[in-house]
Chains A and B, each alone.
Chain A
Amino acid sequence: MPRAVQYKANSIVYFQGDVAERIYILKSGKVSLNYNDIETGQELHELIQTGEFFGVKSALGRYTREETAVVLSDAQMVVFTVPEFEQLIMQNTRIIMKMLKVFSNQLRRIHKQVRNLISSGKESTDPESGLFRIGQYYHRAKKFPQALYAYRRYLTYYPSGKYADEANRNIPLAEQNAQGSMRSSAPVSAAPAREELSNAAKAYYNAVSLHSQEKYQEALKEFQRIASDKADQEYAAKAAFEIGRCYFALGRYDECIRHLSGMIKTYPKHPDLTDALFYVGSCYEKKDDIPKALGFYKKILTMVREDMPIHRKVKKAIAAMGAAS
């Protein structure tokens, strides 16, 4: 049975490096998780909200604790063994969904950090070039059905992308060869039937490609069309953010500020909210309105965790302004 436990202020629930066996939920009081950023070694603190679980990842995976859990003011929590916890969440998938979201976020972040370290010095690959190069790789390796798959997917997402002409030229070649190889080796089915990409999604990826080719005017027009055509809410919201990026790239700072401010009001939970605020801040900086720029940058710092890339980006921007003034 899960049991309620009281902790006095300044006591430790567990130390970093301890063998993990228990999972906790905070009922009242204040608990901080202290850990070192894996990139900088800097010590970070994360306050646990009341009602929040902690110690989950290490206990579920049977790893040692990554952080020290310190009680800041007298606290009450409920302690679960792993089987007790599993039993609880199996009856409440909402909790699992919430945790999956948190973990997925962490996973993305660490993936990005690893990628940054590996690609330092080397040119990083944007998804558009990456996808086309996979087609080329399979083509060279004479794996024609696979090459066809990659080329076709490329054209689905980026019909006017920078490699579209080349992909269109390569497809008939690969098709001929694929037919030849079909007779001799394992049967190759047509690309498996799958949900076709919505038109809004196609248009969106195409416009992203235009933006990466620095064709900002054309990209802007496309994004505006997607945003005003409300057929697909998801892509309309994504396009709204991209319009701001286009304005910024075009040096139309006033329009950028106006547009992104509008976006923030329309989509207060937009996934790119903090990036949008950063663009607004940068626009003010470009316009030499330092107090306003600072205001936006500082606002972002209150919204994001210390170990998120945007946090560092903002800190850097603030430091640069301080040095300039």
Chain B
Amino acid sequence: MSLDLSMFGRFAQTYQPGDIIFCEYEPGDTFYLIQSGRVQIVKIMDDIEKNVDILQPGEIFGEMAILEEAPRSASAVAIDKVVALEFNRANFEILMKGNPQIALKLLKLFTKRIYDQKRRFMILTLDDIQARVADVFIMLAETQPADDPDVNERIFKTTVDDIAHWAGMSPDKCKQILQHFANQRRIELYEDRIVVKNINDFGRFVQSRRRNQQVE
């Protein structure tokens, strides 16, 4: 997508590597469009700094603050020297009128975020904690479709902490469950990856738990 942003030069802000662009819990009513450099989105949870996302030039962040005022839900930190256009609610409308492509991009971004959050919510509503962990793998599998749909084995480059985060439980609890799955030979645990032997088996397991829960 080519955008003519020359008229927005006056909104440009420059950040040095390591600079916080905004901080979790800070009230904020601005959003950003990256022109150059990368931005890391992090959350501090249980005294660990967690990477939520790494954003590239052309991407938008901080967008939730535009239309409603609420504290930032994560921090944005410059990885490289970053130049980003900063918009507040007042000049947001000007930007949208001049660049409907950005508005459309934002609309699609919101759609995706809403679906992602709903999917996450579905995991958290499971009472059975084993099913919750299994459902995290299913969610991850959905976001990275297999090259060959006939292959049931899936490899996830993810850590126990990440799985625990998505499943909404402590890393210790999550480790126990993963160990249990490993003992059943349903998964293999490595330093840098987790291999799920049969993702469809996990799918059936979660489905049956979800059904039982609805019957109760």
Contact = CB atoms under 8 A, between A and B. Distances in A.
Interface of A: 38-39, 41, 57, 60-61, 63, 86, 89-91, 93, 96-97, 99-101, 103-108, 110-111, 113-114, 117-118, 125, 127-128, 130-131, 133-134, 137, 141, 143, 145-146, 149-150, 153, 157, 186-189, 192-195, 201, 205
Interface of B: 13-21, 23-27, 44, 47, 49, 64, 66-68, 70-71, 73, 75, 77, 86, 88, 93, 96-97, 100-101, 103-104, 106-108, 110-115, 117-118, 120-122, 124-125, 168, 214
A139 B124 CA distance: 32
A113 B27 CA distance: 20
A128 B25 CA distance: 7
Per DSSP, are chain A's interface residues mostly helix, strand or loop, or mixed? helix
B73 to A, nearest CB: 7
A134 B72 CA distance: 12
A108 B117 CA distance: 10
Contact of A93 (B16, B97, B110, B117): B97
B14 to A, nearest CB: 7
B17 A107 contact: no
Contacts of A146: 18, 20, 77
Contacts of A41: 214
A60 B121 contact: no
Contacts of A93: 96-97, 100, 103
B117 A100 contact: no
A127 B103 contact: no
Contacts of A113: 121
Contact of B20 (A91, A114, A150, A186): A150
B124 A189 contact: no
Contact of A100 (B18, B73, B106, B168): B106
A41 B15 CA distance: 46
A107 B110 contact: yes
